[in-house]
Structure 1
């Protein structure tokens, strides 16, 4: 599930899904990373600027959903996307604003996943310690529970905090630093 519904207000350049990266809209790039990484289905949740995104981004082969409640935060997009995941499928929750995501990270998470668990990409901080980041792979048995707990701007953060004992961290520091594009100071990530 690719979450791409936000308006990008902190960045001030419109929806982050439309930021150009490698000569295409960021949402198209991330969708292709997911496909090349081994995701069987790709659900893209749009909100702000949905019509504009549909007109500019190649999302062929994806199930594209419009979240009319996108302005209420990531939680509603998470619930909408999770409801569209085919029964019995695990769900990889991906944020559109991470241009450093690679197909190798996606494959690593899929290959590392254990039944009944949550598998999360982790990146080394300045102190050398692994810190949980995105994407996060929810076992099929946990998707509905995580969606039910999702709310506001925190998405599934509450579920992850309450179920920390289920999370397996997978070091992806060799592929990315896990950073996202939130403010103008982060635009260098698109170069």
Structure 2
């Protein structure tokens, strides 16, 4: 299946404990008081992804309560609890893909972002999840780049979900799979810097 009108859901990976940051990044606010988690969900929804699955782990009850204040509609924003999130990114990614697999009606692809990119906006999501530069479909593989550096969003067609889930381990995410399978790289430097924030010092530099 390949169509310019494919259905794309969103996935936010937000399960980690944020050890280097000092707290789970799902609970971190930007200087303007916006939760990083809320910004990630808004960016996906604004970019045309529906529904959005938020993968939580560390302090999940707190994060979900905060999330529901901004998004009370359980149909548009859904929560998945990552089993084994302590082991790293792979567990969160598998949980997000499994939740997407269970969506009814079926979606053709997912746009995946991590919670620790507070500069993310809907424009990047629209560029990655739209029909250009090639038709969106179940075989799609795309990754945003920023000044040549790979980042988020990434868009993964449904035909790749099982193989990707089977391939990831530990704290390694989708990047090796994307490289191996020739994901299309889409420049987004004109839209933002795409920087992920690993520690509070990174926020001071921004």
Q: Under a length normalisation based on structure 1, what TM-score does the superposition of the two structures give?
A: 0.88
Instruction: State the shift of 1:104 in Å.
Output: 0.6
Partners of 2:202 and 2:14 in 1: CA distance: 17
CA contact (8 A) 2:16 2:57 kept: yes
Partners of 2:91 and 2:43 in 1: CA distance: 24
- Aligned: 1:150 with 2:165: no
- Render the CA deviation track for 1:89-126: whole Å, top value 9, x for unaligned: 201111000011110110011113534231111110xx
Corresponding pairs, count: 182
Gaps of 5+ in 1: 125-129
Corresponding position of 2:17: 7
User: Which of the pair is proportionally richer in helix?
Assistant: 1
Gaps of 5+ in 2: 1-10
Q: Under a length normalisation based on structure 2, what TM-score does the superposition of the two structures give?
A: 0.82
Match 2:28 to one of 7, 15, 19: 19
- Aligned: 1:46 with 2:38: no
Corresponding position of 1:127: none
CA contact (8 A) 1:150 1:157 kept: no
Across the aligned residues of Structure 1 and Structure 2, the Cα RMSD in angstroms comes to: 1.7
Partners of 1:67 and 1:83 in 2: CA distance: 10
Partners of 2:146 and 2:184 in 1: CA distance: 13
- Aligned: 1:110 with 2:129: yes
Partners of 1:19 and 1:70 in 2: CA distance: 18
Partners of 2:172 and 2:84 in 1: CA distance: 15
CA contact (8 A) 2:109 2:140 kept: no
Partners of 1:134 and 1:54 in 2: CA distance: 22
CA contact (8 A) 1:88 1:141 kept: no
Match 1:101 to one of 120, 123, 127: 120
Corresponding position of 1:73: 88
CA contact (8 A) 1:97 1:181 kept: yes
For structure 1, which segment, 47-56 or 83-92, has the greater mean C-alpha deviation from structure 2 after superposition?
83-92
Partners of 1:181 and 1:33 in 2: CA distance: 17
Partners of 1:188 and 1:103 in 2: CA distance: 24
- Render the CA deviation track for 1:133-191: whole Å, top value 9, x for unaligned: 1111011211222122122111223312322x2x11111001111101101221137x7
Instruction: State the shift of 1:59 in Å.
Output: 4.0
